[in-house]
Structure 1
């Protein structure tokens, strides 16, 4: 008789899911108008912390090992994808915390608040590209369910939206205005939804007694 199983999110997926929710909420104009710039930037800062915890777990605790001689190309790309993603989350931590400190200053300008960090967005794009390389030969990965096409591409699309948001958030030096506040917010919102969906699709099957079982074929990227 086949043992009963339940579906659980991967450990790191919880952090990515919660962080994505914070970023999506913070990008909604109605929310920003209701709570003000301090709480809006605090929302982004908290979301970035969840992203970083999740990225650390993904890199250090989920089974990945640093590449060494003889590591197959998929595992090598997978590890570097997780490492670059962790770097990207740290960059977002720096930008969101700096922005929160800035808006606490009563003399802060409208454009001084948090906007998607360009370097963090680039890191996310690089990590997503490496994840695609790893997914191409995922049958050779340390965990063949660690990457799947729908999860990998959702993360790539989310990274592209964050990149669009970073462009829209560029502050024009002469005027101090953003290139596009609309795209700065929409890119962040849509990108966060992509990351949230990818995280929620990242799940594994375990037996009811807690024994890990093979991940279901529908699982998403971890």
Structure 2
């Protein structure tokens, strides 16, 4: 879990730095940094998907899911949330990779860059809602002392910010301009910041659990 947290943190930091830089610059390194961040996100999401597949079964019967791949398809909320999130990171891979091409027309940019961005943002939002639903003991509970609660809500707020950024990043067919360039970058920066907070909390929780196990 600690490695997952560090990978999410690295991806979030890449997105945060690139989005902040994009507010006042068009430097060539910005798009590459977004793409690098998406790779970190995908790596972390894959580890989280594996963990989500194994933990519930281990609690029930000590089953090693890695040794029984067929068990991956048994539906439960943790796994579904992780699977949707992993799918979202793949769409962000596509989105950020295609954004490296400066020769795209407005129509191509909307199709190859904006559509994967929008779908990825929806996936992140759905996954975050499911993750929060898992940790909530009751609707809209306020449990700031619960690490899982804080992680879930940090990621949900980040996903909402990514959603606003995706809406603002649509290119107007008539002019080629974004709906709101500043909102697109600001929303991405805020989303990345909350994802970074969630990732740091995840690392801290992993350390706490490791200390408890060794004592």
How well do the aligned residues superpose, as a CA RMSD in angstroms? Answer: 3.0
Q: Which of 31, 34, 50 is 1:44 aligned to?
A: 34
Q: Mapping of 1:17-96 within 5 angstroms?
A: 17-29=9-21, 33=25, 36=27, 38-61=28-51, 63-64=54-55, 66=72, 68=74, 76-96=76-96
In 1, are the aligned partners of 2:168 and 2:180 still within 8 Å (CA)? Answer: yes
More strand by share: 1
Give the CA deviation at 1:179: 0.7
Alpha-carbon distance in 2 for matches of 1:84, 1:30: 28
Shift in Å, 1:174: 1.3
Q: Distance in 1 between matches of 2:5 and 2:213?
A: 17
Whole-Å separation in 1 of the counterparts to 2:24 and 2:43: 25
Structure 1 gaps, min length 5? 1-8, 139-145, 216-222
| 8 Å Cα contact 1:26/1:32 also seen in 2 | no
TM-score, scaled relative to structure 1: 0.73
Deviations along 1:92-116, one digit per CA (max 9) or x if unpaired, are: 001111111x12x4x777x959668
Are 1:19 and 1:48, in contact at CA under 8 Å, matched by a contact in 2? yes
Kindly state the Cα deviation for residue 214 of structure 1 after the two structures are TM-superposed: 4.8
Does the alignment pair 1:124 with 2:116? no
Q: Distance in 2 between matches of 1:147 and 1:89?
A: 24
Q: Which residue of 2 aligns with 1:213?
A: 212
Which structure 2 segments of 5+ residues have no match?
A: 58-71, 139-145
Q: How does 1:49-198 map to 2 (within 5 A)?
A: 49-61=39-51, 63-64=54-55, 66=72, 68=74, 76-100=76-100, 102-103=101-102, 105=103, 112=109, 117-136=117-136, 148-198=148-198
* 1:94-144 Cα shifts (integer Å, max 9, x gaps): 1111111x12x4x777x9596680000000000011101211259xxxxxx
Checking the alignment, whether the CA contact within 8 Å between 2:2 and 2:207 is kept in structure 1 is no
Aligned equivalents of 1:40, 1:112: Cα separation in 2: 17
Q: Could you tell me how far apart the structure 2 residues matched to 1:27 and 1:176 are?
A: 20
**28 and 79 in structure 1: CA distance in 2 versus 1, 3 angstrom threshold:** same
Greater than 4 Å deviation, 4+ residue runs: 111-116
Structure 2 CA distance, aligned partners of 1:149 and 1:53? 23
The alignment partner of 1:173 has SS state of: coil
